Structure 1
Amino acid sequence: MNSSIKGIATATLALLLNYSANPVFALPQKINHPITVAKSQPLTNTLIVPGERVGPITRTTTKQDLVKLFGASHLVDKTISGAEGIGSFAATQVNLNQGRCLTTSCSASTLLVVWSDNTRTKPLDVRNLGSAWKTREGIGVGTPLSELRKKLGDFKLYGLEWDYGGTILLDSSKLSRYQGKLILRVNAAPNAYEKFPNDYQAVLGDGTFSSSDRHWKPLGITLTEIIVVLNPGE
């Protein structure tokens, strides 16, 4: 494992990429019904600033701040399990899908804040982000591999179908400054294995592969998960 990602994998990355309860990696359904958030202006700020904020959610946002931002009726407190069921972590889901959207796309309207401890006063990370949330570079859920290569250069990533499957090694990219602040994971199209079994098998497992590897091309690789780390190591 690359030395710079190893430190994250031993603590934060294990939590970020592998826990058993309340699957975060399922993407919200897209519904086009723009309605404003109760007692607030429509939330149009869906900018991701790695290590700093996700829209209005910052490194110092508390659970009470989420109540002010979104309304208590749209928040659900959860406890999620760590890697291999070891440890548990407080989390709060923000769910505005029930007739309310943050923007003209409801794909942005559900997210999960994972807290550093049970006081819910310091966010560890924000995840379960839909396609409307994007970095300044225009990277968001659904970005195809071809676009990622334009923005990141020729980077390295882990093979598919294991704990860290499809994770991009940002330290090998043009956006190495986001290492430890942003987790990006890609996956193949749902039918890729059936259509292109040889190519699929060629990029499986815990090895690292170049983004320019020819076997990725027919698999319909897109960005399927973004995790924004706000307080790493907490």
Structure 2
Amino acid sequence: MNLTIKGIATAALALLLSYSYSAKQAVALPQKINHPVTIAKSQPLTDTLIVPGERVGPITPTTTKQDLIKLFGASHLVDKTISGAEGIGSFAATELKLSQGRSLLVVWSDNTRTKPLDVRNLGSAWKTREGIGVGISLNELRKKLGNFKLYGLGWDYGGTILLDSSKLSRYQGKLILRVDGAANASEKFPNDYQAVSGDGTFSSSNSHWKPLGIRLTEIIVTLNPSEQ
């Protein structure tokens, strides 16, 4: 009889230990499954469309720094302070570092980083519906904009396109496009370079642009123009 009771007790203990072990496994298993989910907070960026005045991909006039963290992950963001045009003033900014031409810089209205003034330093992956993106040539721009006027090279506003003189005048105040010549253009073609330099305006059909290798080098998308 004692042997039978002992056997029953041993079996019960074994069952209890087995249940306890299984319970620990049941608790631990979800932790292992959920662990990658807590790390992978950001999603790959697939939307690289520029809609002037409205959005740059998922970045809109109401996007905050915290929204950027949720969208892309804190490891891809670097806070900076940049100078204004002609060195006047300074602005809080956040750089988004992504591969394959998707990087950009968000400039904020103040240090709270809760309202974006504009988005700039856009990589080559970003394009408008018209196909305007960094790197396209002056000839390609003329196909999309028609003949237009732009400021001369060699100063703070050099190469800025006057959109109100183009087919895309509706983007005036919402989009800033700037062009520049090839790195050695001023040395190789000094006469042509000087002929289209300075704070005057020039036609995009001016023959002096042709040898300079003019391309679109900067896009700035204004999101909250009233804040500037």
User: Under a length normalisation based on structure 2, what TM-score does the superposition of the two structures give?
Assistant: 0.80
What is the aligned partner in structure 2 of residue 115 from structure 1? 108
Shift, 1:38, TM fit:
4.5
What CA distance in whole angstroms lies between the structure 2 residues aligned with 1:85 and 1:149? 31
CA-to-partner distance for each residue in 1:151-204, whole Å, 9 max, x for gaps? 000000000001100000000000000000000000001121222221111101
Query: Larger % of helix: which?
Result: 2
The equivalent position to 2:75 in structure 1, one of 73, 76, 83, is 73
Structure 1 unaligned segments of length 5 or more: list them. 1-36
Q: Look up the SS of the partner of 1:164 in the other structure.
A: coil
The equivalent position to 2:119 in structure 1, one of 113, 126, 129, is 126
Aligned alpha-carbon RMSD (Å): 1.4
User: Under a length normalisation based on structure 1, what TM-score does the superposition of the two structures give?
Assistant: 0.78
Shift, 1:85, TM fit:
3.4
Match status 1:229 vs 2:222: yes
Match status 1:177 vs 2:170: yes
Match status 1:156 vs 2:149: yes
What is the aligned partner in structure 1 of residue 133 from structure 2? 140
What CA distance in whole angstroms lies between the structure 2 residues aligned with 1:83 and 1:199? 26
Structure 2 unaligned segments of length 5 or more: list them. 1-38
The equivalent position to 1:46 in structure 2, one of 45, 48, 56, is 48
What is the identity percentage for the equivalent residue pairs of Structure 1 and Structure 2?
86
Shift, 1:107, TM fit:
1.6
Q: Look up the SS of the partner of 1:163 in the other structure.
A: coil
What is the aligned partner in structure 2 of residue 215 from structure 1? 208
What is the aligned partner in structure 1 of residue 88 from structure 2? 86
Task: Evaluate the alpha carbon distance shift between residue 194 and residue 134 of structure 1 in structure 2; reply closer, same or farther with a 3 A threshold.
Answer: same
Name segments (4+ residues, structure 1) moved above 4 Å: none
Q: Look up the SS of the partner of 1:107 in the other structure.
A: coil
What CA distance in whole angstroms lies between the structure 2 residues aligned with 1:85 and 1:206? 17
Higher alpha-carbon Rg:
2
Higher RCO (CA < 8 A, seq sep 6+): 1
Q: Look up the SS of the partner of 1:223 in the other structure.
A: strand
What CA distance in whole angstroms lies between the structure 2 residues aligned with 1:148 and 1:224? 12
The equivalent position to 1:190 in structure 2, one of 176, 179, 183, is 183
What CA distance in whole angstroms lies between the structure 2 residues aligned with 1:89 and 1:202? 34
Count of aligned residue pairs for this structure pair:
189
Shift, 1:89, TM fit:
1.2
What CA distance in whole angstroms lies between the structure 1 residues aligned with 2:129 and 2:81? 31
Aligned 8 A contact 1:189 1:221 in 2 = yes
What is the aligned partner in structure 2 of residue 165 from structure 1? 158
What CA distance in whole angstroms lies between the structure 2 residues aligned with 1:196 and 1:212? 17
Aligned 8 A contact 2:43 2:71 in 1 = no
Aligned 8 A contact 1:38 1:70 in 2 = no
What is the aligned partner in structure 2 of residue 19 from structure 1? none
Q: Look up the SS of the partner of 2:202 in the other structure.
A: strand
What is the aligned partner in structure 1 of residue 19 from structure 2? none
Q: Look up the SS of the partner of 2:101 in the other structure.
A: helix
